[in-house]
Amino acid sequence: MKTPFLAALTLAASLLATTSMAQTVIRIAHAQPESSPLHQAMEHFRQTLEERSNGGFEVEIYAGGQLGSVTETLDLVQSGNIQMATGASVNLSPSIPELGVLDQFLLFSDEEHARATLDGPAGDALNAAMETRGLAGMGFLELGFRSFSGNRALDSLAAFQGFRLRSADNPVQIAAWRAIGAVPLPLAWGEIYSSLQQGLIDGQESALSSMVVERFYEVQSNVSLTGHIYWPEVWFANLDFVNSLSEDERALMREVAAETVTLQRQLVAEANAATLAQLTEAGLEVTELPAEDRQQMAATMNAAIESLIRERVGDAFFDQFSAYLAQ
pLDDT digits (tens, 9 = 90+) for 195-254: 999 999 999 999 888 888 889 999 999 999 999 999 899 999 999 999 999 999 999 999
Predicted pLDDT at 214: 87
For the chain, which residues score pLDDT lower than 50?
Answer: 1-21
Predicted pLDDT at 267: 94
Give the C-alpha separation, 80 to 231, whole Å.
Answer: 26
Q: How many CA atoms lie within 13 A of 98 on its CB side?
A: 19
Which residue, among 229, 177, 189, 184, has the nearest Cα to 87 in the 3D structure?
Answer: 189
Using only the alpha carbons of the chain, give its radius of gyration: 22
How far, in Å, are 72, 229, 286 from residue 203 at the CA level?
Answer: 26, 16, 14
Strands 203-207 and 145-150: antiparallel
Beta strand ranges found along 107-144 (DSSP E):
135-141
For residues 66, 71, 73 and 76, what is the CA-based torsion angle, rounded to 10 degrees?
Answer: -140
Which residues are paired to 62 by β-bridges? 29
Residue 176 makes CB contacts below 8 A (sequence gap 6+) with: 103, 105, 301, 302, 304, 305
Q: How many CA atoms lie within 13 A of 269 on its CB side?
A: 10
Give the C-alpha separation, 217 to 224, whole Å.
Answer: 12
Which residue, among 269, 267, 260, has the nearest Cα to 138 in the 3D structure?
Answer: 260
Backbone angles phi and psi of 277, in degrees to 5: -65, -40
Cβ burial of 21 (10 Å; 0-12, 13-18, 19+) is: exposed
Residue 321 makes CB contacts below 8 A (sequence gap 6+) with: 101, 122, 125, 313
pTM: 0.82
